[in-house]
């Protein structure tokens, strides 16, 4: 494998951008899926593309990979159109609905895919990176859902791509498998590759992305480092057990933006623009408040506020 610096220098001579989307639009009948987005991703970035169901994430990914033609706009991947980039092995993709040849072994599947590329990654290396080394001789029909996801990752890696696109990559994995997956992604990204992934597990984006792009209704509503996106919603959240409090009255307290119940023990969460003022007002109004905690806004809270999604909707989607 080439060193990261050499790989990046070679790709930058072709294009300064790993991904360049300009004026991208796509509609299905009267429904607009993508409403004119512009997006630049630099070589070597790890980017999370987030949004509630129907935000346009999957359509954007499909257009990037040449699976769906845009109605208008331009797409280049390292300076190439999507079909050429995929054919040249510049792009590897791990999609949710990719059938495996059930009678073939995992090693045979990867060897077949490798044979289609001019400079593939050794099959053994793809197996190791994807954490599937012990599955090489197993037939696809005998794999669990989580194992199939890891094999799909190996299939995406075997072309030795410079851009890896992952659509809900850990959806069928347990906690241990998810941890191993992101360790593999860290190893892959450390070689200077570019990774773009979608996920409903917001903690994965917060922990592993250099940058997050939030979509809503086919548009990009936030784009930047995780800390920058969280800072956009500002403030802090105060949680406390407040016996006898009436939830509709709490947002009227100074410094409180909104309030919601947490559990069934009279605990409430107050999202605040001024947590000091909110806490003083809360204790003045409810001196018996207890078990008080103050924390900064999370990526989940930024996601909910900036995309308009409800927590319940996203929890269902994550399952």
pLDDT in tens, 29-67: 999 999 999 999 999 999 999 988 889 999 999 999 999
Q: For position 146, what pLDDT does the model report?
A: 84
Round to whole Å and give the CA distance between 306 and 302. Answer: 6
**Intra-chain end-to-end CA distance of the chain, in Å:** 37
pLDDT at 10 over 80: no
Are 219 and 284 contained in the same domain? no
Q: For position 306, what pLDDT does the model report?
A: 76
| % helix, strand, coil for the chain, step of 5 | 40, 25, 35
pLDDT at 12 over 70: no
Round to whole Å and give the CA distance between 319 and 316. Answer: 5
Q: For the whole model, what pTM was predicted?
A: 0.75
Give me the CATH number covering residue 44. Answer: 3.40.50.300
pLDDT at 131 over 90: no
Domain boundary among 194, 225, 256: 225
Are 137 and 241 contained in the same domain? no
Q: For position 2, what pLDDT does the model report?
A: 43
Are 69 and 153 contained in the same domain? yes
pLDDT in tens, 159-197: 999 999 999 888 878 888 888 888 888 888 888 899 999
The residue among 227, 220, 238 whose CA lies nearest residue 306 is 220
Detail the DSSP E strand segments found in 42-176: 46-50, 72-77, 91-94, 163-167
Q: For position 15, what pLDDT does the model report?
A: 65
pLDDT at 292 over 80: yes
The residue among 147, 157, 56 whose CA lies nearest residue 114 is 157
Q: For position 318, what pLDDT does the model report?
A: 39
Are 137 and 268 contained in the same domain? no
Owning domain of residue 292: 235-296
Q: For position 69, what pLDDT does the model report?
A: 96
Give me the CATH number covering residue 257. Answer: 3.30.70
Q: Element (H or E) spanning 3, and its range?
A: none
User: Assign residue 303 a region: left if phi > 0, alpha if psi is -120 to 50, beta otherwise?
Assistant: alpha
Mean pLDDT estimate for the chain: 86
Quick count: other Cβ atoms within 10 Å of Cβ 45?
Answer: 18
Q: Domain total for the chain?
A: 2
Q: For position 311, what pLDDT does the model report?
A: 45
Helix (H, G, I), strand (E, B) or coil at 47: strand
pLDDT at 317 over 50: no
Domain boundary among 198, 225, 252: 225
Are 10 and 61 contained in the same domain? yes
């Amino acid at each position: 494998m080439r060193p990261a610096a050499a790989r990046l220098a070679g790709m930058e001579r072709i294009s300064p951008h790993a991904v360049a989307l300009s004026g991208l639009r796509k509609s299905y009948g009267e429904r607009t899926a993508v409403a004119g987005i512009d997006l630049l991703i630099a070589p070597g970035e790890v980017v999370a593309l987030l949004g509630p169901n129907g935000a346009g994430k999957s359509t954007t990914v499909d257009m990037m990979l040449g699976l769906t033609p845009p109605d208008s706009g331009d797409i280049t991947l390292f300076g190439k159109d999507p079909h050429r980039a995929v054919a040249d092995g510049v792009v590897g993709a791990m999609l949710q609905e990719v059938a495996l040849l059930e009678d073939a072994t995992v090693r045979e599947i990867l060897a077949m895919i490798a044979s289609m590329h001019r400079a593939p990654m050794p099959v053994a290396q793809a197996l190791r990176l994807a954490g599937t080394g012990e599955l090489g001789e197993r037939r696809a029909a005998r794999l669990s859902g989580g194992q199939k996801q890891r094999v799909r990752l190996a299939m995406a890696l075997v072309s030795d791509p410079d851009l890896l696109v992952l659509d809900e990559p850990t959806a069928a994995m347990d906690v241990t498998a998810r941890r191993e997956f992101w360790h593999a992604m860290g190893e892959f990204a450390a070689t200077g590759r570019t990774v773009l992934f979608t996920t409903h597990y917001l903690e994965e984006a917060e922990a592993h992305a250099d940058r997050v792009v939030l979509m809503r209704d086919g548009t990009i509503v936030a784009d930047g480092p995780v800390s920058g996106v969280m800072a956009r919603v500002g403030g802090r959240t105060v949680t406390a057990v407040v016996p006898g409090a009436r939830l509709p009255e709490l947002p009227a307290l100074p410094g409180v933006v909104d309030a919601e119940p947490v559990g069934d023990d009279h605990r409430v969460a107050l999202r605040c623009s001024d947590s000091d003022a909110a806490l003083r007002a809360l204790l003045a109004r409810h001196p018996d408040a207890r078990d008080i905690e103050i924390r900064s806004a999370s990526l989940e809270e930024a996601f909910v506020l900036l995309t308009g999604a409800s927590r319940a909707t996203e929890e269902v989607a994550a399952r």
